[in-house]
């Protein structure tokens, strides 16, 4: 049976951008900027994105497109059946772990979209009332479980439909919509009185805030946002036509992700400052601080609807890429149907996600390294598993694959002159700089 694939260059680009652009941009990026000193964090983030993460992205792209197979088969076949195949299995398991707790936040975004549609934030509620609304919801049992189930079900249904008819069609419609919504909110946010302080916070650097943990947080965010180290780019690249340009697809995806993160910051931080809210609100920024802000601003009820639509779309475009990694493996290696693979993985992720959901309520007494079960999975994935997956991938491309094969894939058989000219720099970054930088920043983040 012919393997499914993306039907167009634009389809492949928006699907990859959708994998990268997600909750990492709208939920995680703004509060990390707030916690790590604003513009100084952004500058470090940009540097890491293009000099460390982009070569890693290209490495994953090369492995996927060269093999035209799922992550496990890609490592197995390109390494000649060596022990490297277990790295492929690792990159299949990690996105399932991420999806399990990611769907919890996706469920929150569904609930808050429903709340915004009923204008629950515009009745003059105090900040404490909004905080209580969020706390009451996440610590309850039925609501969060139902929302988690709904989010995971939508994700699974899109993936079951297929690459071209499911993932690509969804991404073609939703990614442009997502960008337009967030750009519109950013423009509106910048017109609010006092918004300039938020822009200054975002774009005037204070390098005294930079330390090892800040750099580690920026690298972890870049990995999380670009979907590095857990097979999604590799899997999507395996569906990309051999005629497409690896450099173009990679730079376009990374740039889209970065621009979206900055626009999201511009949409959120000026509004936060305009109403005198602390930018260091942590993970609650989107679900506690912003609903209060929406309640204070003119037309805030409608802005809230747009924002939570954007948040939900961003979450789904990323979640489908995570699920597809394991679906591709089960379909191609274990001969599952897409429906059977989707159903099995839905059940697995639902169980793990349910435990993460309940860790805010009935299971909140269970602590791991000072945090709840949800925090444990988030920290483990962002700061350990993705970093390890990225390290193993660049070591595989830089030290296990033949240089001539990497060159052939990157330059489309030597036909792309620009790619050929910069290949030496890319090879040096993949072989030496990326592994060393990942190790140094990973270790510095531990202390």
**Cα dihedral 256, 195, 219, 27 sign:** negative
Question: What is the C-alpha to C-alpha distance for residues 159 and 190, in angstroms, rounded to an integer?
Answer: 37
Task: Label residue 445 by pLDDT band (50, 70, 90).
Answer: low
| Total-model pTM | 0.93
Which pair of tokens denotes residue 312?
A: 């939900």
For the chain, the structural domain boundaries read 9-444
Task: Of 282, 167, 264, 189, give the one whose Cα is nearest residue 225.
Answer: 264
Taking a C-beta distance cutoff of 8 angstroms, is the pair 244, 10 a contact?
no
Question: What is the C-alpha to C-alpha distance for residues 367 and 143, in angstroms, rounded to an integer?
Answer: 23
Question: What is the C-alpha to C-alpha distance for residues 243 and 113, in angstroms, rounded to an integer?
Answer: 41
**Cα dihedral 416, 421, 422, 423 sign:** positive
Task: Label residue 1 by pLDDT band (50, 70, 90).
Answer: low
pLDDT tens figures, 32-66: 887 787 888 999 999 999 999 999 999 999 999 99
Residues 6+ apart with CB under 8 A from 65: 237, 238, 240, 242, 244, 246, 409
pLDDT tens figures, 139-148: 999 999 999 9
pLDDT at position 369 is 87
Has domain 9-444 been given CATH number 1.10.4160.10? yes
Taking a C-beta distance cutoff of 8 angstroms, is the pair 303, 113 a contact?
no
Q: Is 133 helix (H, G, I), strand (E, B) or coil?
A: helix
The residues facing 371 across adjacent strands are 368
pLDDT tens figures, 427-442: 999 999 999 988 887 7
Residue 282 has pLDDT above 70, yes or no: no
Q: Residue 436: how many CB atoms within 10 A of its CB?
A: 11
Taking a C-beta distance cutoff of 8 angstroms, is the pair 357, 104 a contact?
yes
pLDDT tens figures, 350-392: 999 999 999 999 999 999 988 999 999 988 887 788 888 999 9
Which pair of tokens denotes residue 286?
A: 């989107």
Q: Residue 133: how many CB atoms within 10 A of its CB?
A: 19
**Cα dihedral 227, 228, 230, 231 sign:** positive
Question: What is the C-alpha to C-alpha distance for residues 183 and 253, in angstroms, rounded to an integer?
Answer: 18
- Backbone φ and ψ of 205, nearest 5°: -75, 145
């Amino acid at each position: 049976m012919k393997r499914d694939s993306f039907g167009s260059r634009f389809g492949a680009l928006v699907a990859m951008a959708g994998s990268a652009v997600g909750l990492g941009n709208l939920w995680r990026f703004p509060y990390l900027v707030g916690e790590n000193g604003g513009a100084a964090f952004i500058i470090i983030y940009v540097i890491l994105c293009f000099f460390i993460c982009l070569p890693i992205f290209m490495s994953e792209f090369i492995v996927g497109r060269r093999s035209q197979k799922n992550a496990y088969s890609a490592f197995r076949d390109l390494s000649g059946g060596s022990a490297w195949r277990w790295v492929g299995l690792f990159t299949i398991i990690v996105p399932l772990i991420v999806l399990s707790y990611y769907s919890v936040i996706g469920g929150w975004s569904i609930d808050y979209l429903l709340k915004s549609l009923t204008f629950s934030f515009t009745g003059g509620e105090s900040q404490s009332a909004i905080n209580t609304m969020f706390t009451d919801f996440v610590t309850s049992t039925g609501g969060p479980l139902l929302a988690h189930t709904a989010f995971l079900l939508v994700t699974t249904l899109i993936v079951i439909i297929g690459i071209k008819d499911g993932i690509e069609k969804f991404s073609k419609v939703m990614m442009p919509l997502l960008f337009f919504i967030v750009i519109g909110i950013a423009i509106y946010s910048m017109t609010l009185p006092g918004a300039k302080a938020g822009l200054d916070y975002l774009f005037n650097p204070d390098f005294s805030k930079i330390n090892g943990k800040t750099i580690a947080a920026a690298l972890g965010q870049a990995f999380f946002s670009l979907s590095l180290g857990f097979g999604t780019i590799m899997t999507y690249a395996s569906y990309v036509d051999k005629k497409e340009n690896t450099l173009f697809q990679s730079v376009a995806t990374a740039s889209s992700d970065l621009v979206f993160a900055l626009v999201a910051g511009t949409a959120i931080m000026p509004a936060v400052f305009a109403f005198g809210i602390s930018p260091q609100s942590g993970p609650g920024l989107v679900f506690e601080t912003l609903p209060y802000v929406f309640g204070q601003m003119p037309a805030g009820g409608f802005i809230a609807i747009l924002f939570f639509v954007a948040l939900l779309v961003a979450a789904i475009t990323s979640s489908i890429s995570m699920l597809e990694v394991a679906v591709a493996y089960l379909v191609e290696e274990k001969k599952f149907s897409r429906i059977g693979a989707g159903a099995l993985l839905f059940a697995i992720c639902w169980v793990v996600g349910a435990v993460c959901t309940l860790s805010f309520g009935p299971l909140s007494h269970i602590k791991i390294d000072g945090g709840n079960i949800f925090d444990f999975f988030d920290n483990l994935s962002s700061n350990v598993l993705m970093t390890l997956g990225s390290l193993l991938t660049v070591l595989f491309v830089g030290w296990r694959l033949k240089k001539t094969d990497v060159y052939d894939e990157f330059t489309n058989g030597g036909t792309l002159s620009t790619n050929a000219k910069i290949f030496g720099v890319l090879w040096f970054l993949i072989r030496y700089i990326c592994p060393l930088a990942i190790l140094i920043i990973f270790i510095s983040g531990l202390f």
